[in-house]
């Protein structure tokens, strides 16, 4: 595996998370307190962001800073990571009781899927 430039990983991850969150560059820049052009430069690795700016962008995306530096190769890892991020985005503005309910529904659904797979495997 070749070593990738950390600024390229950061720019790609910010773009991915911005799109996954349904945010335009303008909206993410506004939420982060930076200019749209500076955000565009960061996403295309033409400029390097300070740690303070990266922290602001992560906060606007409602992500831990570390998540912006993760490069997760492999289709299964990407699928699991994308599903987890999508679920997190779905529940991020919900009340704690609604989040607990959503988690219980997901657990029940997954148990049902496991049971179906087990039964099929035995036949």
Q: Of 44, 32, 53, nearest to 5 (Cα)?
A: 44
- The pTM score is 0.59
Per the structure, the complete domain to which residue 46 belongs is given by 6-71
Tokens 């996403």 correspond to 43
- Expressed in percent and rounded to 5, the helix, strand and coil fractions of the chain are 75, 0, 25
Per-residue pLDDT in tens (0 to 9) along the chain, 123 residues: 345 678 888 998 899 899 988 999 999 999 999 999 999 999 998 889 999 999 999 999 998 998 888 765 555 566 777 788 788 888 888 999 999 999 899 888 888 886 554 444 443
Asked if residue 96 belongs to a domain, the reply is no
Q: How many domains does the chain have?
A: 1
Tokens of 22: 């349904």
Q: What is the pLDDT, as a whole number, of residue 77?
A: 60
Asked if residue 112 belongs to a domain, the reply is no
Q: What is the pLDDT, as a whole number, of residue 112?
A: 81
- Give the domain CATH number at 30: 1.10.260.40
């Amino acid at each position: 595996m070749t070593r990738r430039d950390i600024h390229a990983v950061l720019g790609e991850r910010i773009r991915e998370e911005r799109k996954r969150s349904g945010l335009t560059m303008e909206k993410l820049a506004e939420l982060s307190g930076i200019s749209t052009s500076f955000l565009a430069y960061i996403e295309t690795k033409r400029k390097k962001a300070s740690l303070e700016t990266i922290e602001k962008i992560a906060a606007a995306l409602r992500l831990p800073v570390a998540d912006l530096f993760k490069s997760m190769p492999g289709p299964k890892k990407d699928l699991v990571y994308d599903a987890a991020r999508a679920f997190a985005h779905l529940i991020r503005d919900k009340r704690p009781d609604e989040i607990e309910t959503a988690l219980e529904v997901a657990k029940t659904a997954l148990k049902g899927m496991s049971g179906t797979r087990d039964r099929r495997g035995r036949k």
